[in-house]
């Protein structure tokens, strides 16, 4: 009798996809959302540009990420995930070169916007679709690891870019970044979109069946009954989408203004930079911790813990100017929860709709969610008083908590 293969969600092929998606998230988070604390100030000083304008346009670019979710989700359904990822990365690489070379403010602002909308080809849609395909029920713990790529921006891109630009210049540094993006784009052409295409099983579980290639073909041809109209007519779409969006506004507003706000409170740059770096480590911890909580207790309960942590952190923000202890506690909680935000939403959608209907639902819910990132970054250009911003963020965080807790997590998609 043939020995039954043991289910294992973290085999060599699965680990390769995990590493790949984590790198996609790191690149997108860096070039589309990681410039506000360090890169933009360098460019503004070197080229005489208004830093507030750069921050506002950067926020608009992150809002365009939400538009990209709609466009690229539909394109993925037509031509496949890895082609969309690769093309998006190649064009992004070319734009990053222009980012580093142009002295024209208008051209630069257009590049920021284009990078924003294209980044969602390989982060918000591409990497999340791959995860939903490969791990239909284990996505919580997997995203707990792979979304570490997003928070790695805090400890790789933000502190690393000033060093890179200082050594090679703005143009030379951005060309190096572009080369890295292009290489990862080529790598993606060799990634299998589904476990069946790689001779594996969803979740690494043989119980899914052995007719892998037929399932792969069926998934390519599958037409989800969840149309945009149907998704939009479900109140849970708005509860989940707006609830997660409000949280993301608050988180991204805080993260994007951490260093400037601490400097404004009278702290030294070295201290502010150290807080950001240590916060990045806590973001890694949060990504893993909430992935574990998601898998152990369910996404909705993990979300409840997430909101409570964030509410506590924003209350502590009001005392940051009074002492470094408040800074450390508030920032570490905030960064820890930041590491969770980007894996809980796709996990919730996958929990509710499954891998077959994930893309159909995520194009709407994900659009609302990622609007939050753009609006949060934009807020840094409008709120000149940090305490006013923290009060606003605390209020919308509480509203988001209520909306998310009113949502229903029951499964409604196609099983298998």
State residue 1's pLDDT score: 41
Q: Is residue 309 part of a domain?
A: yes
Query: Is residue 4 predicted with pLDDT exceeding 60?
Result: no
Name the most confidently modeled range: 55-69, 125-139, 210-224, 385-399. Answer: 385-399
Q: Is residue 4 part of a domain?
A: no
Least confident range from 102-116, 167-181, 201-215: namely 201-215
Question: In this structure, is the dihedral angle defined by the CA atoms of residues 312, 58, 46 and 155, taken in order, positive or negative?
Answer: positive
Q: What is the mean pLDDT of residues 157-178?
A: 91
Residue 49 domain boundaries: 12-406
Q: Is the distance from CB of 414 to CB of 215 less than 8 angstroms?
A: no
Q: How many helices (H) and strands (E) does the chain have?
A: 17, 0
Burial class (CB in 10 A: 0-12, 13-18, 19+), 292: middle
Q: How many residues does the chain have?
A: 416
State residue 341's pLDDT score: 75
Q: Which residues of 27-61 are buried (b: 16+ CB within 10 A; e: fewer)?
A: bbbbbbbbbbbbbbbbbbeeeebebeebbbbbbbb
% of the chain beyond a pLDDT of 90: 34
Using one digit for the tens of pLDDT, what is the confidence trace for 285-344?
A: 887 788 788 878 888 999 999 999 899 999 999 999 999 999 999 988 888 877 677 778
Residues 6+ apart with CB under 8 A from 389: 253, 254, 257, 379, 380, 383
Q: Is residue 89 part of a domain?
A: yes
State residue 101's pLDDT score: 94
Closest to 342 in 3D by CA, of 73, 117, 90, 152: 152
Question: What is the spatial distance between Cα 83 and Cα 306, in angstroms, rounded to a whole number?
Answer: 34
Using one digit for the tens of pLDDT, what is the confidence trace for 31-61?
A: 987 787 778 888 888 999 988 888 888 888 8
- Higher model confidence: residue 187 or residue 221? 187
Q: Is residue 109 part of a domain?
A: yes
State residue 252's pLDDT score: 82
State residue 267's pLDDT score: 92
**339: enclosing H helix or E strand:** helix 324-382
- Higher model confidence: residue 154 or residue 322? 322
% of the chain beyond a pLDDT of 70: 94
Q: Is residue 322 part of a domain?
A: yes
Question: What is the spatial distance between Cα 106 and Cα 112, in angstroms, rounded to a whole number?
Answer: 10
Question: In this structure, is the dihedral angle defined by the CA atoms of residues 196, 197, 203 and 206, taken in order, positive or negative?
Answer: positive
Query: Is residue 2 predicted with pLDDT exceeding 60?
Result: no
Q: Is residue 369 part of a domain?
A: yes
CA distances (Å), origin 174, targets 164, 165, 356: 9, 8, 38
State residue 23's pLDDT score: 93
Q: Is residue 138 part of a domain?
A: yes
Q: What is the mean pLDDT of residues 340-365?
A: 82
Question: What is the spatial distance between Cα 146 and Cα 137, in angstroms, rounded to a whole number?
Answer: 15
Residues 6+ apart with CB under 8 A from 399: 246
State residue 220's pLDDT score: 61
Burial class (CB in 10 A: 0-12, 13-18, 19+), 186: exposed
Q: What is the mean pLDDT of residues 242-265?
A: 88
Using one digit for the tens of pLDDT, what is the confidence trace for 370-404?
A: 788 778 877 877 787 889 999 999 999 999 999 99
CA distances (Å), origin 290, targets 147, 183, 300, 312: 11, 31, 11, 17
Question: What is the spatial distance between Cα 111 and Cα 44, in angstroms, rounded to a whole number?
Answer: 15
The beta strands (E) that lie in 373-412 are given as: none
Query: Is residue 212 predicted with pLDDT exceeding 60?
Result: no
Q: Is residue 7 part of a domain?
A: no
- Higher model confidence: residue 256 or residue 81? 81
Q: Is the distance from CB of 81 to CB of 193 less than 8 angstroms?
A: yes
State residue 368's pLDDT score: 86
Mean pLDDT taken over the chain: 85
Closest to 47 in 3D by CA, of 107, 125, 121: 107
Quick one: tokens of 288?
Answer: 């893993």
State residue 72's pLDDT score: 86
Q: For the chain, what is the domain count? A: 1
- Kindly indicate the confidence band of residue 6, based on its pLDDT and cuts at 50, 70 and 90: low
> CATH number of the domain that 24 lies in?
1.20.1250.20
**3-class DSSP state of 318:** coil
Using one digit for the tens of pLDDT, what is the confidence trace for 65-118?
A: 777 877 887 888 788 888 999 999 999 999 999 999 999 999 999 999 999 899
């Amino acid at each position: 009798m043939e020995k039954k293969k043991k289910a294992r969600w973290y085999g060599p092929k699965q680990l390769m996809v995990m590493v790949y998606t984590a790198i996609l998230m790191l690149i997108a988070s860096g070039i589309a959302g990681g410039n506000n604390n360090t890169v933009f100030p360098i460019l503004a000083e070197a080229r005489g540009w208004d830093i507030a304008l750069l921050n506002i346009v950067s926020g608009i670019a992150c809002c365009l990420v939400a538009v990209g979710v709609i466009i690229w989700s539909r394109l993925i359904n037509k031509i496949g995930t890895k082609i969309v990822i690769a093309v998006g990365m190649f064009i992004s690489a070319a734009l990053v070169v222009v980012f580093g070379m142009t002295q024209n403010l208008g051209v630069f602002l257009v590049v920021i916007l284009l990078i924003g909308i294209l980044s969602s080809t390989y982060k918000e849609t591409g990497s999340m679709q791959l995860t939903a395909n490969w791990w239909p029920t284990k996505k919580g713990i997997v995203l707990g690891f792979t979304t570490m790529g997003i928070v790695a921006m805090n400890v790789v891109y933000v502190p690393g870019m000033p060093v890179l630009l200082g050594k090679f210049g703005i143009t030379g540094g951005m060309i190096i970044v572009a080369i890295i993006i292009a290489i990862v784009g080529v790598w993606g052409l060799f990634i299998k979109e589904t476990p069946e295409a790689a001779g594996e099983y969803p979740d690494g579980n043989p119980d899914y069946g052995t007719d892998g290639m037929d399932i792969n073909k069926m998934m390519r041809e599958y037409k989800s009954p969840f149309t945009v109209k149907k998704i939009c007519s479900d109140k849970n779409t708005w509860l989940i989408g707006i609830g997660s969006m409000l949280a993301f506004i608050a988180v991204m507003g805080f993260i994007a203004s951490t260093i400037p706000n601490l400097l404004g409170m009278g702290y030294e740059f070295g201290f502010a930079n150290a807080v950001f770096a240590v916060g990045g480590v806590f973001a890694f911890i949060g990504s893993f911790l909430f992935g574990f909580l998601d898998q152990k207790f369910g996404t909705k309960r993990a979300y409840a813990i997430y909101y409570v942590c964030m509410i506590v952190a924003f209350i502590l923000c009001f005392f940051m100017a009074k002492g470094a202890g408040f800074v450390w506690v508030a920032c570490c909680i905030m960064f820890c929860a930041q590491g969770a935000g980007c894996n809980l939403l796709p996990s919730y959608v996958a929990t509710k709709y499954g891998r077959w209907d994930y893309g159909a639902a995520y194009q709407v819910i994900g659009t609302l969610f990622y609007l939050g990132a753009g609006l949060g970054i934009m807020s840094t250009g409008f709120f000149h008083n940090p305490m006013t911003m923290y009060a606003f963020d605390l209020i919308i965080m509480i509203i988001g908590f209520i909306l998310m807790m009113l949502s229903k997590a029951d499964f409604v998609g196609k099983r298998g």
